[in-house]
Structure 1
Amino acid sequence: MLSSLMYKTSLSIRSYFLRLYSSVPLPDIDVDYYCNVENTMEIIENIKKRKGVGNINRVLETYNIFKQTSPNDKSYFTIRENLFKELSTLPNKTHPSVKEYKEDPRLVRELNKKRDFGSYVPLEFGEITRRLNLMRTDKLGQTCGHKSYYFLGELAELEEALIKYTVCSLLKKNFNLVSVPDILPSNVLQSCGMMVNNDRTQIYSLDPLHHGPDLYLSGTAEMSLAGLLMNTVHQKQDLPLKLAAVSRCYRAETSNLIEERGIYRVHQFTKVEMFAVTTPEQSEEMLEYLQKTEEELFSPLGFHMKVLDMPPHELGAPAYRKYDIEAWMPGRNNYGEVSSCSNCTDYQSRRLHIKYIDKSKLMYVHTLNGTACAIPRMLIALIETHQDLKGKILIPEILQPFMNGKKYITKNTSIPELKLLKIKK
């Protein structure tokens, strides 16, 4: 087997690699590109711009060792596993027009004007909801703990209204609604680009003693939707495929930044996610479509926002290009990210083996994702923008049919305000 390696130089690295080990279910990462030394400097530069994730030199060292190792060698499987582990840490390529961006994103456009409050100083979301008894975030240790919340009364109704409005809008655009699981194995999470079992993990793991090994809470429906399509083959004429899902999202990450106080960054929240599967020729157009869909969803809600084309260091490992939408939050006197959409090209499909048939040839699809509605941050932008000087909150007209025709949110009196009692010993 080893000697055959020496004379098969006419085969590409990738084709020989796959033919030799096609029986092993491993990610089909493009070794023809990554293990070609002619591309090394380009890959190194991309890694630098993408927060230094991955090490191409280690990939090449491991690859050279692997080529010289016989399958009968005791270390063969360990070396093979290490090779794919190193390959899997490398980031996706970066869109050519984004490569030249420095630290700051490029402003694409602004939508809606900032509301003029005159001499009135707008209140923050936390203060508004405290005064109106619409939310609880304190003293929740007996239930859901730090970075959690209860929405009460009409604020809970507004959450449901946002979900219904978003889902109805996506269905009109011919998205297929999917109900997804929130518990996934690590291979699906890692194949989507989520970090598991390291110092910077974003994911909650379930106790293996009680729930079985290798189970995690999903951070976004994107991963469940990608997992649904794992090991599938699609007809070219059936693409693009547009999916949507409503799910709870679980994030172990925390933040001490003052800009991310309150419910801006929490451990669990509800989100409506868009997910698309395309041919390589369709994916750039689909990214623009997802971004335009986000604008069409958010513009009628009345808050000011700006669309940003993100620089390489903000893309994460899977994305080839990413747009963010930041909403103006007047109570905070700052912008906050409320949505993003990404083109991941074949980063996820190669790891999950999602393919399509093109003239009898199997090709890897491109996958894309976009946030249609992330509830906590959307509520911050809405409540702070539409607060009334007299203490009420205007409900945007487009959401009123989803709240039984209500035009305003007022103080909640049906659920008692939280009062802390001192118990004598």
Structure 2
Amino acid sequence: MFKSSLYKIVYNNCKRLKVSKFYSDSCMFEIDTTYYCNKDNEKEIKHNIEIRKGVGNIRKVLEVYEELKDVKISDKKYQPLREQLHFELEKLPNKTHPLVTGYKEDPVVIHTINSKRTFSKEPFEFSEITEKLNIMRTDKLGITCGNRSYCYLGELAEVEEALIKYTVSKLLKKNYLLISVPDILPHAVLKGCGMSPNSNRTQIYALDPTLHGPDLYLSGTAEMSLAGLLMNSIHEIKKLPLKLAAVSRCYRAETSSVVEERGTYRVHQFTKVEMFTVTTPDHSDQMLEEVRKTQEELFTELGLYMRVLDMPPHELGAPAYRKYDIEAWMPGRKNFGEISSCSNCTDYQSRRLNIKYIDGNTKSFVHTLNGTACAIPRMLIALVETHQDTKGMARIAIPKVLQPYLNGKEYIGKNKSIPKLKILKLKK
């Protein structure tokens, strides 16, 4: 019954998604003027922008709002001023959880999971192991691939599929509805999720408008597609929370010169299983804890040593009210690396995408949350480095929970099916 009701919600939403110009083209979302345009909140909002190292000018917002305060909505003469107000409001970040507001530069460690593995010999890095076993290639990929690209070969590619199947099976048992999503999205959806597709520092790939039409972009995460699916929808309160999951390719124009992010730690495209939930405002804090608990359960069984972090304000993206990161110890790198995060975006996205719930005769904006269930490249780094055999790098142990998805295999060995490529010197 639970799953069928979820299917009905999504089906009805899909029928309802005749996107209005008000919310898609002009992006004139319904504003929380009670808070943002109240002079009594100016100091608090300004402080929030500063501690989050965000952009936005609350003074400008209040000045424009003051000019419009007594103007009738029907007066079209002031439409440019209304658009300016929305433009200024769009730049403001979400509120910050009161507890997080007091954090300094460093994240707060909530707790650690599992114990750190000890090695009799110096552990090897992921790139060294995969090179030795011939199970990954990051160069000589052909003319269609460039920097920060990769190919998993043989059994490592099998582990990738096993991780996806393991993760999805766990989420289905927790009543998540699996959705297959598109990887090409319009500007309105990305902007509604809090992204800035056309800014100078964007990580989003834009398709050539002369070839593919205007305002089309490659998705950086399934969160965007799932949020877009619910755009301009109304949900019955008794049908919430709505829990969705998706497996998708993620495209990001990543750049980094940080040594800790070398290799396949930060790449241009990767596979990820994403969770996206919709709930009422009074349950979103509780839902964030539930999403985090789900992540912890998924990763604990993989045998990784991890720490769970409550992130400080300057680490929050504009949409996030609160964010947890989970970092796994990567023995070869001798460092922790982020493998997952989850965020409560409260009504930041739902206001921009017009997603509401109805309680009696009252319609209110939902709260949206997202969380990474499995990001393949970093998960593989942590798994391979943690479960490596340091005696000659002959094999990698497969966690027991993944073995059923690998026909009972207990180890990854050397790939002998696909030969290593050799550079040939051609005579002129």
Q: Normalization by structure 2: what TM-score?
A: 0.91
Aligned to 1:312: 313
Q: How does 1:279-290 map to 2 (within 5 A)?
A: 279-290=280-291
**Equivalent residue, structure 2, for 1:241:** 242
For the pair 1:352 / 2:353, whether they are aligned, the reply is yes
| Counterpart for residue 331 of structure 2 | 330
Identity of aligned residues (%): 68
2-side partners of 1:180 and 1:66: how far apart? Answer: 41
Higher relative contact order (CA 8 A, sep 6+): 2
Q: Map of 1:241-280 to 2, 5 A cutoff?
A: 241-280=242-281
Equivalent position SS for 2:383:
helix
Name the structure 2 match of 1:105: 107
Instruction: Please say if 1:396 is aligned against 2:390.
Output: no
Residue 32 of structure 2: aligned partner: 30
Distance 1:148 1:299, change over 3 A: same
Give the residue type in structure 1 aligned to 2:287: M
Partner residue, 2:139:
138
What amino acid is aligned across from residue 189 of structure 2 in structure 1? V
Deviation at 1:335, TM superposition (A): 0.2
Tell me which residue corresponds to 1:8.
Answer: none
The equivalent of 2:408 in structure 1 is: 405
Structure 1 residue 52: deviation in Å? Answer: 2.7
**Do the aligned partners of 1:29 and 1:88 also contact (CA within 8 Å) in 2?**
no
Distance of 1:60 and 1:374 partners within structure 2: 41
Q: In 2 relative to 1, CA 353–72 (structure 1 residues): closer, same or farther, beyond 3 Å? A: closer
Letter in 2 for 1:31: T
* SS of residue paired to 1:301: coil
Partner of 1:7: none
Tell me which residue corresponds to 1:371: 372
**Alignment root-mean-square deviation, CA:** 1.7
Question: Moved runs in structure 1, 4+ residues, more than 6 A?
Answer: 68-75
Structure 1 residue 136: deviation in Å?
0.8
1:104-126 residue CA offsets vs partner (Å, 9 max, x unmatched): 111101001110002x1111001
Distance 2:45 2:415 in 1: 56
Displacement of 1:81 in angstroms is: 2.3
Q: Is the 8 A contact 2:277 2:370 kept in 1?
A: yes
**Aligned counterparts of 2:72 and 2:278: Cα–Cα separation in 1:** 38
Partner residue, 2:64:
62
- 1:249, 1:271 within 8 Å by CA — same for their partners in 2? yes
Which of 109, 116, 119 pairs up with 1:117? 119
Amino acid at match of 1:310: M
8 Å Cα contact 2:124-2:390 kept in structure 1 = no
Q: Calculate the TM-score normalised by the size of structure 1.
A: 0.92
Letter aligned with residue 96 of structure 1:
P
Does residue 198 of the first structure (1) align with residue 199 of the second (2)?
A: yes
Q: Kindly indicate whether the alpha-carbon contact (under 8 Å) linking 2:341 and 2:371 is maintained by their aligned counterparts in 1.
A: yes
| AA matched with 2:401 | I
Shift, 1:315, TM fit: 1.1
Kindly state the Cα deviation for residue 241 of structure 1 after the two structures are TM-superposed.
0.7
Amino acid across the alignment from 2:338: E
Look up the match of 1:15.
none
2:187 aligned with 1:186: yes
| Aligned residues of 1:177 and 1:244 also touching (Cα < 8 A) | yes
8 Å CA contact 1:201–1:253 kept in 2: the answer is no
Measure, in 2, the Cα distance between the counterparts of 1:318 and 1:298.
26
Deviation by residue 1:69-114 (Cα, 9 ceiling, x = unmatched) = 7889887443322221210111111111111000011110100111
Change in Cα spacing, 1:204 to 1:404, as seen in structure 2 (3 Å) is same
One-letter amino acid matched to 2:45 = I
Tell me the residue number matched to 2:3: none
Secondary structure, counterpart of 1:398 in structure 2 = coil
Contact 1:194 1:202 in 2 (8 A): no
CA spacing shift, 1:282–1:151, aligned 2, 3 Å = same
